[in-house]
């Protein structure tokens, strides 16, 4: 009876034999070769490897979803939400990773692009989004008795009721003024610009015209400029100048580097003086024009808008369309030279 010849019958040898080990080794090599050729599991192809899917499938799916979302039309979600003043891009990116942002019923992912037709929700509330809008900056001569908030539980008039409607996005205020303070208040439809103008690192000071009952002596001015502790906070004016007045009513111009709550009034009260009128006349390089009446607003000239971005070192895109027709364009420029921002213009 003839014995079968080795390797020609196509059958493997007995378990543990050299022929079976060789066959297993060949099958393993073949499988590895097929795996390396398969784009599904190749990291170079842009998708995750099989081991990545097994070790952390949630993270891999999130990465792949981000890559897919980034390919769509529109603008990035965090940029759009920052533009309408929801927060800084870094804050919004954190909200997205925490699952607080929903787009069209699905949890948003970083880098996702959205269009104006998309339904966007933040913490369960619908958000009106705007994409590729023309930037506008409004200057309002706020009246006393008007509150700087979108809704007032006491039913008082808000500054937003006095502003023109926007077809897309919303107005974002640059800082606040308390109800009894009048004067310059800025608004823009670019949330990132508003955040930059308000951020302490930008270093924009504020100038106020103040009418008081009484007079400041030289020692009072020195103390107010050196700094004084009020309610556990060190407050100070960077500049104090007599403007005009006679008798018991006198006007001063004071400058603050920060906008803390009731800071001007608290500083004068610390010297035993009462503020009877308070009006902001300058915010950094923006000045309140004499022709802008109490309670009225005007839209800055596009030249001023462009120069604002330039001074702040921000990129400015020339609008593809003209600003809203409802805007009352400022008669003159509302910007003055501002040495603190000159380095950004170079």
| CATH 3.30.750.24 at 137-345, yes or no | no
Q: How distant, in Å, are the alpha carbons of 136, 147, 323 from that of 327?
A: 9, 22, 8
Q: What is the pLDDT of residue 308?
A: 95
CA distance 28 to 48: 22
HSE-up of residue 251 (Cα within 13 Å, Cβ side): 10
List the pLDDT tens digit at each of the 346 positions of the chain.
444 444 444 444 444 444 444 444 454 444 444 444 433 333 333 334 444 434 443 443 444 444 445 556 678 888 888 877 777 778 889 999 999 999 999 999 988 998 878 899 999 989 877 665 688 899 999 999 999 998 899 999 999 998 998 876 788 899 999 999 999 999 998 888 998 999 989 999 999 999 999 999 999 999 999 999 988 889 999 999 999 987 789 999 999 998 788 999 999 999 999 999 999 999 999 999 999 999 999 999 999 999 999 999 988 877 655 555 456 899 999 999 998 776 655 5
CA distance 165 to 7: 85
Q: Which of 285, 294, 293, 274 is nearest to 334 (CA)?
A: 285
Query: Residue 267: which H helix or E strand, with range?
Result: helix 263-269
Q: What is the pLDDT of residue 48?
A: 42
Q: What is the pLDDT of residue 255?
A: 97
Q: What is the pLDDT of residue 142?
A: 97
- Residue 70: active-site member: no
Q: What is the pLDDT of residue 345?
A: 55
Q: What is the pLDDT of residue 339?
A: 84
Instruction: Classify residue 317 by its DSSP letter.
Output: P
Contacts 24+ apart (CB under 8 A), 116-122: 116/168, 118/74, 120/77, 120/80, 120/81, 122/81, 122/86, 122/95
CA distance 324 to 299: 10
Q: What is the pLDDT of residue 198?
A: 92
Give the CATH class of 67-127: alpha beta
The b/e string for 25-38 (b: 16+ C-beta within 10 A; e otherwise) is eeeeeeeeeeeeee
CA distance 308 to 326: 22
Q: Give residues with Cβ within 8 angstroms of 40, minimum separation 6.
A: 47
Instruction: Classify residue 2 by its DSSP letter.
Output: P
Q: What is the pLDDT of residue 123?
A: 92
Domain ranges for the chain, please list them.
67-127, 137-345
Q: Which of 64, 123, 165, 178 is catalytic?
A: 178
Q: What is the pLDDT of residue 165?
A: 87
Contact indicator for 227, 235 with CB cutoff of 8 Å? yes
């Amino acid at each position: 009876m003839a014995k079968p010849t080795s390797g020609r019958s196509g059958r493997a040898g007995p378990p543990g034999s050299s022929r079976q080990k060789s066959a297993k080794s060949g099958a393993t090599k073949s499988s590895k070769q097929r795996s390396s050729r398969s784009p599904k599991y190749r990291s170079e192809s842009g998708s995750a490897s099989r081991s990545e899917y097994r070790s952390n499938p949630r993270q891999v799916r999130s990465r792949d979803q981000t890559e897919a979302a980034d390919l769509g039309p529109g603008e990035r979600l965090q940029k759009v939400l920052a533009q309408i003043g929801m927060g800084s891009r870094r804050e919004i990116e954190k909200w997205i990773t925490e699952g607080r942002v929903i787009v069209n019923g699905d949890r948003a992912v970083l880098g996702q692009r959205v269009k104006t037709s998309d339904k966007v929700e933040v913490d369960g509330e619908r958000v009106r989004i705007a994409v590729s809008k023309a930037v506008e900056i409004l200057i309002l001569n706020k009246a006393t008795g008007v509150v700087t908030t979108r809704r007032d539980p006491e039913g008082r008039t808000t500054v937003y009721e006095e502003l023109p409607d926007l077809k897309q996005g919303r107005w974002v205020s640059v800082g606040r003024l308390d109800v009894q303070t009048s004067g310059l208040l800025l608004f823009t439809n670019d949330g990132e610009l508003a955040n930059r103008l308000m951020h302490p690192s930008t270093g924009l000071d504020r100038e106020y015209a103040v009418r008081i009952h009484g007079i400041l002596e030289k020692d009072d001015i020195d103390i107010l400029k050196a700094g004084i502790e009020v309610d556990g906070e060190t407050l100070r004016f960077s500049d104090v100048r007599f403007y005009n007045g006679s008798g018991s009513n006198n006007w001063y111009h004071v400058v603050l580097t920060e906008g803390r709550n009731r800071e001007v009034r608290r500083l004068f009260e610390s010297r035993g003086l009462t503020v009877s009128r308070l009006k902001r006349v300058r915010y950094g390089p923006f000045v309140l024009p004499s022709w802008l009446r109490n309670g009225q607003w005007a839209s800055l000239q596009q030249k001023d808008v462009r120069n604002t971005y330039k001074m702040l070192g921000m990129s400015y895109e020339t609008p593809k369309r003209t600003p809203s027709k409802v805007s009352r364009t400022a008669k003159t420029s509302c910007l003055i030279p501002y040495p603190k921002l000159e380095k950004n213009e170079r």
